[in-house]
Amino acid sequence: MSPSRDLAIAFDKSACRKDYEQAFAKLLVAMPRMPRRELAEHFIALEALLDDGMVEVKTAMLTEGLLSPRDYQLLGHWIYRQHHNLMRLGAKAVHACAADSKVDTARTMRLLALTFLHVGDSVKWELMAGRHYPRDYPALHGLMKLAIAKRRQGERGELVVDGMRREATLEQLYLRTLLLDRFASGPLTSEEIEVLDAWLWEWGDALRFEARHEGGLVMRADLDANGGLAFGPRNAPGVSLYLHLEPLEDLRRAVINELHRGHVVPHVGRAASMPIQAHVAVLLQLRKLFSGAGSPESPRAPRRGMLGDKMEVLVGAQEILAALGPRKPEARRLTPRNASATGYLFVTSDKATEDIAVGTLLGLRVDPREPPVLGRVVRRVHEVDDGWHLGVEVLSDPSVPIRAASLESDGGKSHDLVFVPGSDRSGRFDSFAVDYGLLGRHERYRLRAGAAVYSLALNRVRRRGRDWALAGFEILEAATA
């Protein structure tokens, strides 16, 4: 019954996946009658088998072009499901072993460490597969409470993760899960969350809780709550654990210093081969988090509900430009669930959003009679029993409409793009939504507006997305047309 390490393990093969699933099912069925010590051994063996079989498959999934879209989707779902199932089995095994005096605490804590590991991994793989199971925060906090009750939360143990030996404490693994959770429903892609995870492993010594808040910027986990990390000290009664953000900010800066020297952190492992864009995106997201953005003190635009009216959504610069012209293109219609001055939340089906990713440029026709408002997808996540959630950040001021413009380069070539006026009449915050290709050229462009021909140069990026950027510019001179 015990899963054999001789099993051919490479989960890109369906036979191997089936073997593993059978081993898992056997353990699940036998579990209630199994002596707890034996259960612990079987669980540890099964976990090692899963890790072994996934190493290469996960790398392939994070390498563009190696798998067909169908295989990618199939394997993503499968991996997500296995981490989730193993985590649930692990949680049951931990509680069973903890209640049995014949199982030594060290063994139970090892089970607990492995369970935390797979909670974290299932959170990570939600980005690939969408969230199909609700997050069980009380169960996660319950496991941490158990570690604290046994006074083992700071004890260090060895784990094999993606084929690499790592050392971690239980509180580190718990915090890893909660920090990944913070981003799995946010704006990171699967590549980016892999980079984040690699840093969290590197930063293990700073992933430490304190039982009291004694000043400084902190996030906290409320052990009696059905929720993840929150900012600041707790104002209501109850037990909370506090994570200091300043040491993590120092470590983030250390990563930047290494990039200045030309070194990615860590320099080995899957994250080391991720594109630099992924590293920079995570650095910027962490900057927000570690500076307290999202805390109760940081301003957030008030939300208002939207009652069912569908909105025309244009996807990509070409559709937006076409909509700004005389011939209105066919646009898909999505229903916003809520809105604020800074963005919209759309909830929609898989089909309607399959070509929309984090970073996609959108045009939102808020008022069907007006030009669209420019937006950027900042969040795309599948929520259980609800469909895909698309978070869209508004990039243009609805009271100052965007318009099509054509820049002419020195060679006489013209580039059609979207002019995005800032709300300030000084023009300081005006931008063009441009293709990346245009940014690298450092050319001068001419544009006729009113009675003058303006000569300008794109000179900074205000926002960036997939293949486009919102570029600021400088007017170099103006001549009468």
Partner 1 sequence: MEKLLAAAAKTRPADPRSREAARVRDRYIAVRFEGIARSSADLSDPERVIKAARLQFEEGHPEAALELIELAVEQDRSEPSLWLAELELAFLLRMRRHFIETARAFREAHPGTDAWTEIDRLGRALAPDEPTFRERGKRAHDHYGPWPHLPNWIGAPWDLTSEVLGADFHAAMTQGAPQR
Q: How near is the Cβ of 248 to partner 1 at its closest, in Å?
A: 10
Strand ranges (E), 307-430: 311-315, 332-334, 336-339, 343-348, 361-365, 373-383, 387-394, 403-409, 414-420
Distance CA 115, CA 143 (A): 9
Q: Residue 266: helix, strand or coil by DSSP?
A: coil
Region from 32-40, 70-78, 230-238, 402-410 binding partner 1, contact rule CB under 8 A: 402-410
**With left for phi above 0 and alpha for psi between -120 and 50, is residue 442 left, alpha or beta?**
left
Number of neighbours of residue 445 by Cβ within 10 angstroms: 24
Total residues contacting partner 1 by CB under 8 A comes to 67
Within 213-252, the residues that bind partner 1 by CB under 8 A are: 247, 250-251
Cis peptide before 266 (omega within 30 of 0): yes
- Which residue, 231 or 436, is less far from partner 1 as judged by CB? 436
Binding characters for partner 1, 174-203, by CB under 8 A (x = yes): ----------------------------xx
Element (H, E) at 36: helix 36-61
Binders in 406-465 for partner 1, by CB under 8 A: 406, 408, 414, 419, 421-422, 425-430, 436, 439-440, 442, 448-452, 454, 456, 458-462, 464
Residue among 182, 154, 179, 180 nearest 167 (CA): 154
Whether 141 and 224 have beta carbons less than 8 Å apart is answered as yes
Instruction: Using the minimum distance from each CB to partner 1, give the nearer residue, 306 or 478.
Output: 478
Nearer to partner 1, 143 or 282 (CB): 282
Question: What are the residue ranges of helices labelled H in 215-266?
Answer: 246-260
Binding mask 308-327 for partner 1 (x = CB under 8 A): ----------------x---
Phi-psi region of 97 (alpha: psi -120 to 50; beta: other; left: phi over 0): alpha
CA nearest neighbour of 123 among 169, 175, 84, 92: 84
Among 158, 367, 386, 474, binds partner 1 (CB under 8 A): 474
- Name the minimum Å distance from CB 59 to partner 1: 20
Interface residue with partner 1 among 259, 306, 315, 378 (CB under 8 A) is: 259
Give the residue with the Cβ less far from partner 1, 66 or 256.
256
Please tell me the number of Cα atoms within 13 Å of 74 on its side-chain side.
10
Is 328 a residue that touches partner 1 (CB under 8 A)?
no
Q: CB 273 → partner 1: shortest distance, Å?
A: 12
Tell me whether residue 305 or residue 412 sits nearer to partner 1 (CB atom): 412
Which one, 390 or 420, has the nearer CB to partner 1?
420
Q: Which is nearer to partner 1, 140 or 395 (CB)?
A: 395
Question: The tokens of 49 are what?
Answer: 């088998």
Stretch that binds partner 1, among 43-51, 256-264, 296-304, 333-341 (CB under 8 A): 256-264
**Which residue from 133, 108, 127, 147 is spatially nearest to 197, judged by alpha carbons?**
127
Identify which range of 25-33, 36-44, 174-182, 257-265 contacts partner 1 by CB under 8 A.
257-265
Distance CA 89, CA 59 (A): 25
Interface pick for partner 1 out of 277, 295, 335, 342 (rule CB under 8 A): 277
CB distance 379 to 185 below 8 Å: yes
Bridge partners (DSSP) listed for residue 456: 445, 475
Indicate the residue among 224 and 477 with the shorter CB distance to partner 1: 477
Residues in contact with partner 1 by the rule CB under 8 A: 202-203, 205-206, 247, 250-251, 254-256, 258-267, 276-277, 279-280, 287, 324, 400-401, 403-406, 408, 414, 419, 421-422, 425-430, 436, 439-440, 442, 448-452, 454, 456, 458-462, 464, 469, 471-472, 474-475, 477-478
